[in-house]
Amino acid sequence: MPLPPPSTERNRIHRRNVKLDGFKRTDGLWDIEAHLVDTKDHDFPLSTGLLKSGNAVHDMRVRVTIDSRMNVVDVVVCTESAPFMGYCDSITPDYSRIIGLNLFNGFLKAVKEMFGNSLGCAHLSELLMFLPTAALQTLTGEALDNDAPEHKPYQIDRCHALVSHSETVRRYFPRWYRDQNPG
C-alpha cells in the first residue's frame, strides 16, 4: 500500500538515495555494496562554498566482502563527496576495523561502539547498519539454503513475522516452530 497523498502543498528540499547491491563472487565469497548520495534541490551555502542544486553533499560507498557464514573478510570505504573533503574522508581507513565481525552476531552493536558519535562518520556508519539485511537477502536461496538441514534458517527470530513462536514459522518453517506456551 503506498503512502497516502500529502495533506498540504510542499516543496522537496533534500533527497537521500541509498542503494544496496549484493554480488556472488567466483571465489565463493560475497560482496555487499552500499551507496549513499545526499542532494539538495536548491543552491546550498556551505562553509566551504556554494553547493549547486543537484550536486552531491555526500556521496559515499562501502563494500564488504563476506563469507557464507556472514563473517566480514574485507571492507573498502570511500567518500567521493562531503562538505569538508580532506577532513570528513580522513576517517575512512578506520572502518577496516569491522573486518572479522559477523553481520549477524553483534555487528550493529559493535559498529555503534566503534564509530558512534564523533568516533566515525555518521553517514558511513549508517550505511553499515543496512548490511546485515542486505546480506541476508543476497545469500537467501544461495549459501544459506545449502547449509546442513540441522541449522536454523538465518531469517528465523530476525523480525516479528519470523519469530520462532509465530504463525508464519509454524506454517512455513514447522521444524523451527517453538510454542511460546508449552504444556
User: Digits of tens for pLDDT over the chain (183 positions)?
Assistant: 999 999 999 999 999 999 999 999 999 999 999 999 999 999 999 999 999 999 999 999 999 999 999 999 999 999 999 999 999 999 999 999 999 999 999 999 999 999 999 999 999 999 999 999 999 999 987 754 444 567 777 778 878 999 999 999 999 888 889 888 766
Q: How far apart are CA 137 and CA 34, in angstroms?
A: 14
25: its cell numbers: 563472487
Closest CA to 22 of 136, 138, 130: 138
Cα distances (angstroms) measured from residue 57 to each of 107, 132, 140: 28, 26, 34
DSSP 33-46: EEEEEEEESS-EEE
Say which DSSP state 130 is in. T
State residue 145's pLDDT score. Answer: 42
pLDDT at 98: 98
Comparing CA positions, the residue from 75, 16, 24, 81 lying closest to residue 48 is 81
* pLDDT for 134: 96
Q: Give the whole-angstrom CA distance, residue 149 versus residue 142.
A: 14
pLDDT at residue 146, as a whole number: 41
